[in-house]
Amino acid sequence: MTEEWNQHKYVQAFLNSDDPTLEEYANAYYIRDIEGLNFSFETVHETAMKKLLMTSKTLQNFIEHDMTQQMINHINKLPLDNYLENNTESVSLNDVNIICNISTIIEQIKNNQKHYEKLRSITNHKEFYRNLSKSDFITLGW
């Protein structure tokens, strides 16, 4: 490991910025991995995908958990007092529509899957880092 990598202009630009751009993140991480840590792309890729919860199993678990949480949140917002006062034994169709905001959930699942597939298919450091979001970089940590 070369000690000079952390003095590289890209690393310094990243470290000295209060709000690094995506390009600054990508450049600094690339220098760190290649010149500083001498990590292979395979090592970086697999570790990053796990940290980002982007393996197929963890992604599926995340989606299922997220859907469950959304449904619980909607159920908790139902006017249950109205049902109890009126001795109603069933939920109205409008309330079911509120609970099952399926189009939003489906859109979120599709976006997560597209991001996952795109990242999964990348085969080099620079392209991988250029396809991450700021929140992805924050999750990965420096």
Count of Cβ atoms closer than 10 Å to residue 89 Cβ: 6
* Whole-structure pTM value: 0.66
pLDDT > 90? residue 131: yes
pLDDT > 60? residue 115: yes
Tens digit of pLDDT for each residue in 15-38?
999 999 999 999 999 999 999 999
Tens digit of pLDDT for each residue in 53-98?
766 667 677 777 877 887 787 777 776 666 666 655 555 555 555 5
pLDDT over 70 percentage in the chain: 75
Helices and strands in the chain, H and E counts:
9, 0
pLDDT band at 116, cuts 50/70/90?
A: confident
Question: What is the rounded CA–CA span in Å between residue 51 and residue 136?
Answer: 9
- Tell which wins on pLDDT, 132 or 3: 132
* Confidence (pLDDT) at 25: 97
* Confidence (pLDDT) at 97: 58
Closest CA to 138 of 46, 35, 14, 9: 14
Q: What is the dihedral of CA 80, 86, 88, 92, to 10 degrees?
A: -70
* Helix/strand/coil for 61: helix
Tokens 């991995």 belong to which residue? 33
